Amino acid sequence: MKEIMVKIKGHQVSSEAGEDSVEFVTEAKLYKRRDIMYLIYEESELSGVPGCKTRLKLMGDEVQMKRIGDGTSVGNEISFKKGKRYSGIYETPYGPIEMEVLTNKIENTLSEDGAGQLDIDYSISLKGLSEGRNRINITLM
């Protein structure tokens, strides 16, 4: 397991809230088991889910994101794979919401030596509440 620093940039465009961007640097853990790479980091006040831990499971052209902790009720998981739709339940403090994610683009150049980037561009729909397009860029430092 390697301790590293990561820079995380998020950009959201939604029909309800307009545009919003966030950028922060945090400590992370990077490791590989078999052919799967894992990146784990703590969210911050800036990301909107303080006290939450995010685990990215990187499997070739697919990424699974799981959040666990105070910012989530039970734990939220989303799968990203270009051109694929993911449907699931997004747990909030106010109750579960149906969610659908369509991955528009994914580029993963992360390596186990602690270099590279992960870019994910996706459209998200929270049934009855919000629709938008999000981009996440994670750079290993």
Distances (CA, A) of 113 to 64, 84, 91, 124, 141: 21, 29, 34, 32, 11
pLDDT tens column, 90-130: 777 777 889 999 999 999 999 989 999 999 999 999 886 78
pLDDT tens by residue, 37-46: 999 998 866 6
**Please, what are the domains in the chain?**
2-140 (2.40.128.20)
Residue 132 has pLDDT above 70, yes or no: yes
Q: Pick 85 or 16 by higher pLDDT.
A: 85
Alpha helices in the chain (DSSP H): none
Q: What is the pTM of this model?
A: 0.87
- Over residues 46-80, the pLDDT tens digits come to 655 667 889 999 998 999 999 887 655 445 789 99
